[in-house]
Amino acid sequence: MAETQPPGQPATKNHLLAALPKDVFARIAPHLELIPMRLGEVLYESDKKMPYVYFPTSAIVSLHYVMENGASAEISGVGNEGVLGIALFMGGNTTPSLATVHTSGWGYRLKGALLMEEFNQAGPMMRLLLRYTQALLTQISQTAVCNRHHSIEQQLCRWLLLILDRLPTNELTITQELIASMLGVRREGITEAAGNLQRAGLISYRRGHITVVDRVRLGNSQKIPHTNFLTILFKIDICYKHNLTHRNLEHDPYI
């Protein structure tokens, strides 16, 4: 582990790492490397080998699917609730998606080979990662449905709420161009949607900065079910904090 680190960035700030039993965490802790995750940094490229897995603590990483013509859209995000690099323990060394940092911060990385050593013991690490993968696939499925059936304004609201679930504040530093790229829509559509939300008093927007003024109204105004942005993370928390702490994993009926 890195010898020095910024205040407030212990490895256990990542919910997955925090949920590991003490003995499992003690085995991997010496190999966790604290790294800065800078805005726009590419952590994985499509169809390239994945030597590391990443556990964000304050950064948020966007997973994009890139088309042959270069167009792309976000299929999911990973923050301090999860891990980046599920392809490694799901049976592959590459991924078709592109992983880029869209909210700068910090995180820990671990060599993929070390993660697989622990995963292959078929113990708590394996169960935890499979639970997380199920939740991530649910989020990806809901994103696909939202992108097909919701307006750009609804998509923007859902995206903002998902980001806020992973941030300690209601302010985001991001441009309309980047949001448009995330959602796979034209920038003009984001400009119009953000303007409507600002006039309604739900957000405050200035170039490169968005502040959510009223989170509850933001969701209710677009009739976005809470399951679209809260339930997934809530279920993850239940799995981590309840199932892995208070259950005997060898007799877990939910595995």
pLDDT band at 135 (very low <50, low <70, confident <90, very high): confident
Give me the percent of the chain exceeding a pLDDT of 90.
33
What domains, with CATH codes, occur in the chain? 11-147+229-251 (2.60.120.10), 151-223 (1.10.10.10)
pLDDT band at 56 (very low <50, low <70, confident <90, very high): very high
pLDDT band at 208 (very low <50, low <70, confident <90, very high): confident
In the predicted structure, residue 115 carries a pLDDT above the cut 90: yes
> How much is the pTM?
0.79
What is the reported pLDDT for 231?
A: 53
pLDDT band at 249 (very low <50, low <70, confident <90, very high): very low
Beta pairing partners, 78: 61
Spell out the SS3 assignment of the chain: CCCCCCCCCCHHHCHHHHHCCHHHHHHHHHHCEEEEECCCCEEECCCCCCCEEEEECCCEEEEEEECCCCCEEEEEEECCCCCECHHHHCCCCCCCEEEEEEECEEEEEEEHHHHHHHHCCCCHHHHHHHHHHHHHHHHHHHHHHHHHHCCHHHHHHHHHHHHHCCCCCCEEECCHHHHHHHHCCCHHHHHHHHHHHHHCCCEEEECCEEEECCHHHHHHHCCCCHHHCCHHHHHHHHHHHHHHHHCCHHHCCCC
What is the reported pLDDT for 245?
A: 44
